[in-house]
Chains A and B, each alone.
Chain A
Amino acid sequence: MKPSASSVRLRLTLWYTSVLALIVLAFSLAVFLFVKDRLFRQFDRGITKEFAAVAIEVAEDAGDFGDIESPSMFEVFRGGVSIFRSASFRKAGLPESPGVPTAGIRTVRSGGGERFRLQAGPVKSDRFLVVAQDEEPVWNALHTLLAILYLALPIALLLAALGGYVLAGRLLAPVGAMARQAEKIGAESLSERLPVKNPDDEFGKLAAVFNQTLSRLQSAFERLQRFTADASHELRTPLAALRSVGEVALQEDLDVTAYRDRIGSMLEETSRLTNLVESLLVLTRADSGRLPMNRKPADIGALVGKAVEDLRVLAEERNQNLTADLPAGVLVSTDEGLLRQAVVNILDNAIKYTPPGGTIRVAMRGQPGVAGIEVVDSGPGIPADQRDKIFDRFYRVEKDRPRDAGGVGLGLAIAKWAVEANGGAIEVESREGQGSTFRIVLPK
């Protein structure tokens, strides 16, 4: 992870520097060309002025030109023949013109390789003047400029690269910090979070998203831990009963009937274990999405009615008044077995928690597009802070309820899953002391 972080840093710096190099190069070139153009224009203006000054003298001169006072080098032609060269002109070693040069401005090289700027033009009718000026100072200035650019460019780029590298390092530092922190977070330290320096920048947002993921992981992990602890407790209890009943029976001298009774007791624990394993298996398969669904249109009223009739005896045993108001002909595409299981579990739960003599009302409350099944009991209700938890696996509102009094606390978890697998939702409304309403809502 470290090399990849620093390679991002390196890549950033490289990119940055390359782009900067291109820009600076283009800029330097532009500056050079601009300055060159300017210098030559200026130079040419100077030579043109000089040419004008010398031209007046040449025009007025009688013929020997020797006394013309001019710092410039010049040559005079008459009738196509060079008739005068200034001393400096000769000294410069400028090439002899073959015949009369054409009028205009141009650069020539002397025998010594030096560059001279020539301005040529006619003066009066028979005289032709060439004024020359040493171009080298201009070139020297340009070369100096180039040298400065050559030298400054790499230094500037180096500095920029260094700066960029440092800056990229600074920018990327939170990534490294996050990585180091994330590396330390394992199953044992899921409660730790990444530092968020600035929640509004990109890294801050990344860290926040990462932290949210961690939160979800943490709660999933805690649920799993709790579930495992609960499951092993629920599995251990019947195992312990099995074991102790068996061990004690072996120590005693009993008659056949008594032994049968002990064995029967052990078998009861076995079937409790079996039921528990079955329920856990259903939920595990549900979690992994491997439970096959067989959805087809079913008459919900009839389905619920059958569940109610099956469980009616339980309510009767407790002197509860179980009423059902179920219209026929409400069709919902559903896996009948699963939905029946959900309804049975909820109804079973309502009967279990409603005191003897209470009432349980089963009704259908449809709304456009959805079918609703309502189970209203007159039990003790569910405290508000536990309303979400009752669908958790192994959750029981009354912690101290004797084990025999009910199931293991998976019924509602299975019901919730079964309804959701059918594309529906399960809701619960309750006021403490005033009973609860469980509502299954299924899309039609």
Chain B
Amino acid sequence: MKILVIEDDRKIAQALKKGLESEGYEIDVASTGSEGGDRAATRAFDLIVLDLMLPGRDGLEILTAVRGRGDATPVIILTAKDTIQDRVVGLDAGADDYLVKPFAFPELSARIRALLRRGAGGTTGPLVKLGLADLEMDAARREASRGGRALALTAREFDLLEYLLRNQGRVVTREMLAADVWKETRRATPLDNVIDVHIARLRKKIDEPFAVRLLHTVRGVGFILREESA
């Protein structure tokens, strides 16, 4: 999978390159608008990560050019501009997603996965049977068990566990949880403590009685559900 990253800040570009390469993508970085525009026009990519404020050529201009050619490569806009107006303009110009700086890398990674999945023609719908090690979940019947023992989860805890299971092996940030599990659209709402309490309770139910821990905290980033201990 080849991804073009058009980003003029060298540190961010390098971080994205390293981070995405470690997830198995092939990364091409363009650090000016004109370079990025040329690269997008001459080579084929599976996805483009695009900064809006670029030297040389504006990101929106590049996006318009790409779409003008009838090129449907998924584009994620990455920018410090965060008003609803900016989002609307970006999405109207043909972007598939919009992420505001500062963003959490796991979130960008998740959105890239989602877009590539969608581009691949979509999978067979969300899985109903989920599991990790001896933890099992039937999302349709809203039942979960570990080691054959049923887990008594509240609705919120169930949603939380389902989300973690669907993203197992990957770090999930508090922002992602707030947006996807709590459906909180606004940033700057104090949900972090709420999320932490729910994670602690969930951990008590799915991990504490068992030998192998599955739910880990990645300090400063978020949480991860995986088998081996970190």
Q: How many residues of A contact B (CB 8 A)?
A: 34
B188 at the interface (CB under 8 A from A): yes
Alpha-carbon distance A310/B218, docked complex (angstroms) = 23
- Please determine whether A341 and B189 come into contact, CB atoms closer than 8 angstroms: yes
CA of A275 to CA of B102, assembled, Å: 10
The total number of A-B Cβ pairs within 8 Å is: 65
Contact A275 B188 (CB under 8 A): yes
In whole angstroms, what is the CA distance A282 to B186 when docked? 10
Asked if A345 meets B219 with Cβ closer than 8 Å, knowing A310-B182, A313-B197, the reply is no
B207 to chain A, nearest CB (A): 18
Min CB–CB distance A406 → chain B (angstroms): 9
Of the listed stretches A185-193, A217-225, A262-270, A295-303, chain B binds A262-270
Q: Is B220 engaged at the interface, CB distance under 8 Å to the other chain?
A: yes
**Once the chains are docked, how many angstroms separate the CA of A59 from the CA of B204?**
153
The answer to whether B197 touches A282 (Cβ under 8 A) is: no
Q: Which residues does chain B contribute within 8 Å of A282, judged by CB atoms?
A: 188
Could you say which interface size class chain B belongs to? 20 to 34
Cβ-defined partner of B191 (8 Å) among A292, A310, A317, A411: A310
Interface residues of A in 244-270 (CB under 8 A from B): 260-261, 263-268, 270
A91 — which chain B residues lie within 8 A by C-beta? none
Judge whether A146 is part of the interface by a CB distance below 8 angstroms: no
- Identify which of A260, A279, A292, A314 contacts B219 (C-beta below 8 A): A260
Is there contact, CB below 8 Å, between B197 and A279? Answer: no
Contact of A290 among B83, B192, B198 (CB under 8 A): B83
Please state if B221 and A267 are interface contacts (CB–CB under 8 Å).
yes
The CA-CA distance from A411 to B193 in the complex, in Å, is 14
Question: What is the minimal beta-carbon distance from A256 to any residue of chain B, in angstroms?
Answer: 11
A374 interfacial by beta-carbon distance below 8 Å: no
> What's the minimum C-beta distance from A55 to chain B, rounded to whole angstroms?
111
Known contacts A264-B220, A311-B194, A345-B190: A274-B102 contact under CB 8 Å = yes
Residues of B within 8 A of A432 (CB): none
Docked-complex contact A270 and B102, CB < 8 angstroms? yes
CB-CB under 8 A from A337, the residues of chain B are 185-186
Question: Is B201 engaged at the interface, CB distance under 8 Å to the other chain?
Answer: yes
Nearest-neighbour CB distance to chain A for B91, whole angstroms, equals 15
Smallest CB gap from A267: residue in B = B220
A317 and B197: CB pair below 8 A? yes
The answer to whether B220 touches A278 (Cβ under 8 A) is no
CB <8 Å contact, B190 and A348: yes
- Asked if A279 and B201 sit within 8 Å, CB to CB, the answer is no
Residue from B174, B198, B220 in contact with A266 in the complex, judged by beta carbons closer than 8 Å: B220
Query: Contact: A313 with B201, CB < 8 Å?
Result: yes
Query: When A278-B187, A341-B189 are in contact, do A268 and B220 touch as well, CB less than 8 Å?
Result: yes
Q: Which residues of A contact B186 (CB under 8 A)?
A: 337, 340-341
Q: A197 to B73: give the CA distance in the assembly, Å.
A: 75
Give the complex CA separation of A414 and B190 in angstroms: 12
Contact among B102, B189, B193 for A314, CB-based, below 8 A: B193
Which of A265, A267, A316, A414 meets B188, CB within 8 Å?
A414
Residues of B within 8 A of A285 (CB): 83
Report the Cα distance A323→B189, complex, angstroms. 22
Tell me whether A344 is interfacial, beta carbon within 8 Å: yes
Would B220 and A263 count as touching, CB distance under 8 A?
Answer: yes
Cα distance, A270 to B15, chains bound together (Å)? 16
Which of chain A's residues 342-388 have a Cβ closer than 8 Å to chain B? Answer: 344-345, 348
Q: Does B12 contact A (CB under 8 A)?
A: no
> How many Å lie between the Cα of A340 and that of B191 in the bound state?
12
Q: Is the CB of B219 within 8 A of A310?
A: no
Annotate B95-136 by CB proximity to A: 1 below 8 A, 0 otherwise.
000000010000000000000000000000000000000000
Kindly provide the distance from the CB of B78 to the nearest chain A CB, expressed in whole angstroms: 15
B211 at the interface (CB under 8 A from A): no
Instruction: Considering the complex, give the chain A residue whose CB is closest to the CB of B102.
Output: A274
Q: When A290-B83, A292-B84 are in contact, do A264 and B197 touch as well, CB less than 8 Å? A: no
Q: What is the CB-to-nearest-CB distance from A242 to chain B, in angstroms, rounded to a whole number?
A: 11
A62 CB to closest chain B CB (Å) equals 126
Contacts of B182 in A (CB 8 A): 310
Complex CA–CA separation, A274 to B206 (angstroms)? 31
For B84, the chain A residues whose CB sits under 8 A away are 292
Docked pose: A344 CA to B197 CA in angstroms: 16
| A421 CA / B192 CA spacing, docked (Å) | 25
Complex formed: what's the CA distance from A264 to B222 in Å? 10
- Smallest CB–CB gap between A230 and chain B, Å? 17
Binary contact readout A325-346 vs B (1 if CB under 8 angstroms, 0 otherwise) = 0000000000001001100110
Which residue from chain B places its CB closest to the CB of A280 in the assembled complex?
A: B188
B84 CB, min distance to chain A CBs, angstroms: 5
Tell me if A176 is interfacial: C-beta within 8 Å of chain B: no
A237 within 8 A of B: no
CA distance A271 to B104 in the complex (A): 9
B190 and A344 form a contact (CB under 8 A) = yes
Q: Tell me the bound Cα distance from A281 to B82 in angstroms.
A: 10
Residues of A within 8 A of B201 (CB): 313
CB-contacts of B146-182 with A (<8 A): 174, 182
Contacts of B197 in A (CB 8 A): 313-314, 316-317
**Docked-complex contact B220 and A265, CB < 8 angstroms:** yes
CB closest chain-B residue, reference A269 = B220
Q: Which residues of B contact A101 (CB under 8 A)?
A: none
Chain B residues positioned under 8 Å from A275 (CB to CB): 187-188, 192
Task: Assess whether B83 is in contact with A279, with CB atoms less than 8 Å apart.
Answer: no
Name the B residues within 8 Å of A270 (CB-CB): 102, 220
Kindly state whether residue A407 has any CB partner on chain B within 8 Å. Answer: yes
Q: List 6 A-B contacts (CB under 8 A).
A: A270-B102, A274-B102, A313-B197, A341-B186, A344-B189, A344-B190
Listed in ascending order, the chain A residues whose CB lies under 8 Å from chain B are 260-261, 263-268, 270-271, 274-275, 278-279, 281-282, 285, 290, 292, 310-311, 313-314, 316-317, 337, 340-341, 344-345, 348, 407, 411, 414
- Closest 10 A-B residue pairs measured CB to CB? A267-B220, A264-B219, A264-B220, A278-B188, A313-B197, A268-B220, A278-B187, A279-B188, A348-B190, A337-B186
Q: With A270-B220, A341-B188 given, name 11 new contacts (CB 8 A).
A: A267-B219, A270-B102, A275-B188, A278-B187, A292-B83, A310-B182, A314-B197, A340-B186, A344-B189, A344-B191, A407-B190
